[in-house]
Amino acid sequence: MSIASDLIRGHTDTIILAQLFKNDSYGYEINKTIQSITDSEYELKEATLYTAFRRLEQQGYIISYWGNETTGARRRYYCITASGKLAYEKLIEEWKIAKELIDKLIKKN
């Protein structure tokens, strides 16, 4: 974890929705995926991850169900809803705008 979380803050929900947009998954796996994608430059803290799940579920953007593992620890899978997909698309658009705004505001000249 080498990047300041403050800079990613505000994108936690989008990142999770993005992973669930590809396929249903569970907390531990999502975090491993994030580490894999970023070559371990970033990871979500567990407390942050599970807090986000609660938030997203409460907003109706994801729903959860228990996996039927016969061995190993139980897994709570999450599935993105139609509403969640819409929110995700909107968040991506907002990110594009924010990116340009920040570039304009912090550039050197």
Q: Which stretch binds its own copies (CB under 8 A): 37-45, 49-57, 61-69, 71-79?
A: 37-45
CA distance 95 to 93: 5
Q: Are strands 25-26 and 76-80 parallel, antiparallel or unpaired?
A: antiparallel
Query: In terms of CB distance, is 26 or 85 closer to DNA?
Result: 26
Strand, coil or helix: what is 41?
A: coil
User: For DNA, which stretch binds (CB under 7 A), given 52-60, 79-87, 88-96, 100-108?
Assistant: 52-60
Cβ atoms of residues 79 and 63 within 8 Å? yes
The site partner of 81 among DNA, its own copies, none (C-beta below 5 to 8 Å per kind) is: none
Of positions 32, 45, 50, 94, contacts its own copies by CB under 8 A: 94
**How many Å apart are CA 41 and CA 55, to the nearest integer?**
25
Taking the least distance from each CB to its own copies, the nearer of 69 and 103 is 103
CB proximity list for 59: less than 8 A, separation 6 or greater? 87
Which positions lie near its own copies, rule CB under 8 A?
3-4, 6-11, 14-15, 18, 21-22, 34, 37-38, 41-42, 91-92, 94-95, 97-99, 101-102, 104-109
